[in-house]
Structure 1
């Protein structure tokens, strides 16, 4: 039945549900499918041990330990996942797997309940919307050959977030937390399942959920107010998310079991953030400062999600899941884009210089930089152009997934097939307004732009994707073979007139990609504790909209072993990704791109990325017979890479001027995540340590001093049960208040989040 499963207890080895007890013979024989297997990418936790590739889960208990909402802080517990920070809260994640470019998650497949969730995953994969992880029930990551089911991006892997399930009985929860910087984090839901009147009429299930989060931010904007005792402007965010589900399911004893579920979610968000960072001198003086020129900067987003899913189990060994989905996203990031110096011709776009170039060389652009800092002369008429990056997206489609279980030739077979018809669109209709800086650092508008004058573009994608995967089991062997096919057409049109009459169409490009993506993986169970695995598959990502664009292609290998005993779980997997062509997308967040080039994709040629992922989990308390649990986990990622040829200065963003033999920017060589906890039924405490080595932010040797700093971040959390249904919670994020450069893009040095305290109550009812 839909989303029904028991939860792990708080005192078990639940730090990371990487592996569970070895599958018993009875579980192997009971192969009745469930809808959970179709919305999950790793399947039931008990089956992860047999996955012929890297697969990890973070369950609700693990997510509750620190009550994070930042995807970066959550995902750093999983080996092989790289993250690049931007604004400190994880509102705009940059997630990479096995060294793929982290740019706005554009090279991994991101899903919620098994459905693509990026605003336009084919037409514009660099997403500015990400579902709130704080309301998720489970997080899954799958890498390697078995991840080709979840395209179109198959090189790194897939990330799936499972939303809160409808409970069997009427129940709910409410987590109410308060934190530093006027922070609030509220997560509530209530739902239940009831029998319908009449014999064998089935059941109705329902769920209503709300998630809200806000902060005034940890940065201090240079105060533009002219009077004394003015409050500091907000540099934080405000987010509100609701989700509801309604389900009908047949009587569990029905001859043909089926379910229908309707899901709706809405997300509204305002983030008072900027692309404008600091020059190194100012960062060293005050890393949390924000310049006057960013005072108007904020992004507003709205996202609506609809899913209608039908599941049917016509026979004990077949199932079919049909999902109809639609997402609509609207966003406008109003932010400082460029500055023109005193005495410039403000009608000439060439008079303006982008903020990235200004902060790269503030001496050359002294007048522009003075305007940014609010230090221009009294008679200066320098202007800043604030860009309204106004965009609308939609994605929709229908997805079929079926399974068939059978025995043939002495092997148990689990055959799965999928077919998806998908279309999405990104509509850019942007403009910019010009501002002058007042005597006291306050910006006032002097010229209003015309909507559509800076970017007037429509990018559309149509895709048909299908896959077939067969998992064969016999004795100690499990072999999974799969084949995926993607047929993609991407169309881009640009206009010079806001009305889009077609008379002044400046660009009309169409690119088509048709590719077969094979993969094979195997596991062999040496004994009750040890197993080995290996796999190989093709990596693919669509290129740009130009007819001459090259698809991203690679051949990817992995091999490793797993260990499982009563109190210990461990795995070590080595990987090697051999790119025949890797692509880099020109984006505004990467910096250094002309307006007309933003969104284009450039081939960067051959690259090799290889490394090691290791994870060990042990319950010291259980192994020593203590009356309290002491769960310990240690994760390690080694990632090494090199360009096999010079890239040249025309490459966009952080790869410009990369030379043969250089490592990829932004991907650290070493990552360690360690966690230790102690607890009993009524209380627990957890300390998490995350260490990342330094890495260059840009390949350009002229900016070799721009380094994403190594850092050791400590988070501690604890809770105490004061009533059967009430727990008190407290945590400290960045315990030592470590100050560090998190990144140098989009423009200038940007800090990681300062220390934050959180406290509140968690109630179940």
Structure 2
């Protein structure tokens, strides 16, 4: 995997080669300003601003602001364009070293809707980011400016999503390799309780049969993240209780666009990212490569790596008809491939050892290794004519992984050893490196293969005040477990293999699902009102075949489970526009399939969800506040290794429960009204969540155990807060951000969190800066966890685990547009 070394070298080499001509351009001019809508004066994000006849191009940001640098003095023409808006040309005369301000107001295109804007509505949860304000429900979009912050040095999707209220995060490895994301109090374990997509296509390893996100799309290569909650999510399934997360990959650009970026930092970390693409009248293409390699921040006694190496490649090609014709169609092929090698483990620390050195790892975890490969293919066709459009996508995802990790010592699960070390002193000594007998350590090869494939199509039809969308999807997926366990001996602090297990003897089973889903949604415009009723239907057939450990050829299953589920999922949302204020709300049914591990007594997860809120947009201020309530009639837990369980996949009914809360966010440019292009952006996001079980029960699901009425749920903090403030000048930018969270229970219960059953509250500060060196490129640096606050973020799967300590990264970016 030498790409991680080639890309940073290429970036620095390009910078050195370009330096002489760039530094010779003293006296060049610049121009900046704000692009706004002529209709209501709102900022236009994503408007293209170009100096006509040159390769100097820029895009406006979320505040509508743009900058063009390195312009030859004289009279120039500026062209402003954006999808769905008319083109505007402005002429300006620039002197040497002058920084001119040119604002622009674009009117909406009056004759026809741009087909690309229609396509965005079918393939994204929001469509055009400018439509966020119109949504009849809670929706947030993080665009490139939010994702490119150098403060997030490892492109951890957890760090990105902390900017969004209503998102629950449980860290595990400090890097976000296997994210744990929940929405509005749903379980966060391996992001299995939300609908996870990339470009509108299901992306979990086996979204129905095994949704735990042991594969997660590389967030660092995305151009946007969309989070949608509320009634309008009936378009997205199968899981509709908390919401949906859609990762948007880079779009094929309209003109030749490229960048190369390389950075390096703490723990021997190297990151490289390169992208190039272009379009002609009837053809477009894009190629992208991303690599991140680090030695890790945890410390083994033998000083071996505790980090990872991730390489990701993606390509797109498109053929299309004339965009200005009476009808338009395009065919786009997307291919992707990702590999991961990570020295990660489930083994954490005892409370005492965490207090002594929270970054330590026990010697017995030194052989733990995750090896994974993922490939994807999507073929999408889009056609539109007049008020009708059809979008159809065929897709296939394949994922294989083998997580070779310690499971037991002296026959006892590692979670029990570190959880009650006073009862397992001999086993704990071996974990730390004491000599042992042969086969004292049991290392499991969690060898699994997955696939997910399907065909989905959506028909859009606009008739008068009705905008109808009818969608259908046929989907199949599978998880194949073929696992074994090896025995090891600890000698002189090192592990050596003493017995090799027979493949298939630990877990030998195949779980699969076939699903047919359909939805119908109608967006009805009635003056200032927008009403959006919709309904979704899911028909799912689960099958699980268990084979004997001594039957590697799988001649006959020892047990067959078949489970069929049908669900109708209705919902209705509304919004009402009052000048700068928009009030919205909705109610919908929440649904979560029980999976192939369910038995006859297991019910589907079900709830009724309510929300009511308002958005304010005016004069550089965007504010939002939402109240939500999720009333479960049945909540589910699943026994997995990640929860400290036995990995059986057995689902447990939790009965009725309730989650209620408030989400609030604010975005404001403190210099919105000031002339020029200097910005001081301020952003805040807050979440308050109050959750409890309304049923008492006993379960073998570790995070629940014995539950009494009124007990709080695990891994849901009461308070969460994130914020940032920046100072953005003509050629440089500084920012400071903060993330804070209250302590979380790791076990259901009431009252103060008992010792040994919680995580730490924390406040983490980050800072970053970047400077534009003319046309040479951009130098950037980021420092995460400035105060080096060491805090416990989890106790599962097996022991205390720390968050990311203070980490820095510095890099350089070269880019161009023609």
Instruction: Name the TM-score, length of structure 1 as normaliser.
Output: 0.91
Q: Residues 696 and 708 of structure 1 are in contact (CA less than 8 Å); yes or no, is this contact kept in structure 2?
A: yes
Q: Relative to 1, partners in 2 of residues 1:647 and 1:763: Cα closer, same or farther, differing over 3 Å? A: farther
Distance in 2, Cα, partners of 1:208 & 1:501:
41
Q: Residues 32 and 317 of structure 1 are in contact (CA less than 8 Å); yes or no, is this contact kept in structure 2?
A: no
Residue of structure 1 aligned with 2:263, choices 163, 174, 177: 177
Q: Which residue number in structure 1 is paired with residue 774 of structure 2?
A: 723
Q: Residues 456 and 498 of structure 1 are in contact (CA less than 8 Å); yes or no, is this contact kept in structure 2?
A: no
Q: Say whether 1:245 aligns with 2:297.
A: no
Q: Which residue number in structure 2 is paired with residue 273 of structure 1?
A: 344
Distance in 2, Cα, partners of 1:303 & 1:245:
17
Residue 364 of structure 1: CA displacement? 1.4
- For the aligned residue pairs, the C-alpha RMSD in angstroms reads 2.2
Q: What CA deviation, in whole Å up to 9, does each residue of 1:258-297 have, x standing for no partner?
A: 0000000000001101000000111000000000110100
Distance in 2, Cα, partners of 1:318 & 1:182:
54
Distance in 1, Cα, partners of 2:475 & 2:439:
47
Distance in 2, Cα, partners of 1:317 & 1:467:
19
Distance in 1, Cα, partners of 2:201 & 2:550:
34
Q: What CA deviation, in whole Å up to 9, does each residue of 1:365-411 have, x standing for no partner?
A: 2221111111247xx5561000000000000000001101110xxxx
Distance in 1, Cα, partners of 2:169 & 2:129:
25
Q: Which residue number in structure 2 is paired with residue 40 of structure 1?
A: 124
Residue 505 of structure 1: CA displacement? 2.3
Secondary structure, counterpart of 2:131 in structure 1: helix
Q: Which residue number in structure 2 is paired with residue 220 of structure 1?
A: 299
Q: Which residue number in structure 1 is paired with residue 497 of structure 2?
A: 445
Distance in 2, Cα, partners of 1:482 & 1:212:
41
Residue 150 of structure 1: CA displacement? 0.6
Residue of structure 1 aligned with 2:805, choices 754, 757, 760: 754
Q: Relative to 1, partners in 2 of residues 1:303 and 1:498: Cα closer, same or farther, differing over 3 Å? A: farther
Q: What CA deviation, in whole Å up to 9, does each residue of 1:529-552 have, x standing for no partner?
A: 111111000000001323432100
Residue 63 of structure 1: CA displacement? 1.1
Of 108-117 and 66-75, deviating more is: 66-75
Residue 4 of structure 1: CA displacement? 9.3
Instruction: Name the TM-score, length of structure 2 as normaliser.
Output: 0.85
Q: Which residue number in structure 1 is paired with residue 447 of structure 2?
A: 390
What aligned pairs does 1:539-618 form with structure 2 within 5 A after superposition? 539-545=590-596, 546-591=599-644, 593-595=645-647, 598-618=648-668
Q: Which residue number in structure 2 is paired with residue 665 of structure 1?
A: 714
Residue 623 of structure 1: CA displacement? 3.3
Q: Say whether 1:322 aligns with 2:401.
A: no
Q: Residues 684 and 720 of structure 1 are in contact (CA less than 8 Å); yes or no, is this contact kept in structure 2?
A: yes
Distance in 1, Cα, partners of 2:625 & 2:427:
52
Distance in 2, Cα, partners of 1:726 & 1:52:
41
Distance in 1, Cα, partners of 2:523 & 2:377:
32
Secondary structure, counterpart of 1:120 in structure 2: coil
Q: Residues 647 and 655 of structure 1 are in contact (CA less than 8 Å); yes or no, is this contact kept in structure 2?
A: no
Q: Relative to 1, partners in 2 of residues 1:488 and 1:29: Cα closer, same or farther, differing over 3 Å? A: farther
Q: Say whether 1:533 aligns with 2:584.
A: yes
Distance in 1, Cα, partners of 2:660 & 2:227:
18
Q: Which residue number in structure 2 is paired with residue 76 of structure 1?
A: 162
Secondary structure, counterpart of 1:450 in structure 2: coil
Distance in 1, Cα, partners of 2:814 & 2:623:
34
Q: Which residue number in structure 1 is paired with residue 54 of structure 2?
A: none
Task: Count residues in correspondence.
Answer: 719
Secondary structure, counterpart of 1:65 in structure 2: coil
Residue of structure 1 aligned with 2:181, choices 86, 95, 115: 95
Q: Say whether 1:65 aligns with 2:149.
A: yes
Residue of structure 2 aligned with 1:420, choices 473, 476, 491: 473
Q: Which residue number in structure 2 is paired with residue 361 of structure 1?
A: 420
5+ residue gaps, structure 1:
196-202, 224-231, 341-351
Q: What CA deviation, in whole Å up to 9, does each residue of 1:323-379 have, x standing for no partner?
A: 000000000000000011xxxxxxxxxxx11100111111212221111111247xx
Q: Which residue number in structure 1 is paired with residue 682 of structure 2?
A: 632
Q: Relative to 1, partners in 2 of residues 1:497 and 1:535: Cα closer, same or farther, differing over 3 Å? A: same
Residue 625 of structure 1: CA displacement? 4.9
Q: Residues 698 and 704 of structure 1 are in contact (CA less than 8 Å); yes or no, is this contact kept in structure 2?
A: no
Q: Say whether 1:679 aligns with 2:728.
A: yes
Distance in 1, Cα, partners of 2:676 & 2:351:
51
Q: Which residue number in structure 2 is paired with residue 482 of structure 1?
A: 534
Residue 506 of structure 1: CA displacement? 2.4
Q: Which residue number in structure 1 is paired with residue 671 of structure 2?
A: 621
Q: Which residue number in structure 2 is paired with residue 189 of structure 1?
A: 275
Q: Relative to 1, partners in 2 of residues 1:27 and 1:353: Cα closer, same or farther, differing over 3 Å? A: farther
Distance in 1, Cα, partners of 2:376 & 2:521:
29
Q: Residues 337 and 386 of structure 1 are in contact (CA less than 8 Å); yes or no, is this contact kept in structure 2?
A: yes
Residue of structure 2 aligned with 1:692, choices 741, 750, 755: 741
Q: Say whether 1:282 aligns with 2:353.
A: yes
Distance in 1, Cα, partners of 2:234 & 2:110:
24
Distance in 1, Cα, partners of 2:639 & 2:485:
20
Q: What CA deviation, in whole Å up to 9, does each residue of 1:698-742 have, x standing for no partner?
A: 126896533111100111111110023611101101111110001
Q: Residues 439 and 487 of structure 2 are in contact (CA less than 8 Å); yes or no, is this contact kept in structure 1?
A: no
5+ residue gaps, structure 2:
1-44, 49-57, 67-83, 86-104
Residue 27 of structure 1: CA displacement? 7.1
Residue 499 of structure 1: CA displacement? 4.2
Q: Residues 395 and 422 of structure 1 are in contact (CA less than 8 Å); yes or no, is this contact kept in structure 2?
A: yes
Distance in 2, Cα, partners of 1:615 & 1:705:
33
Q: Residues 438 and 487 of structure 2 are in contact (CA less than 8 Å); yes or no, is this contact kept in structure 1?
A: no
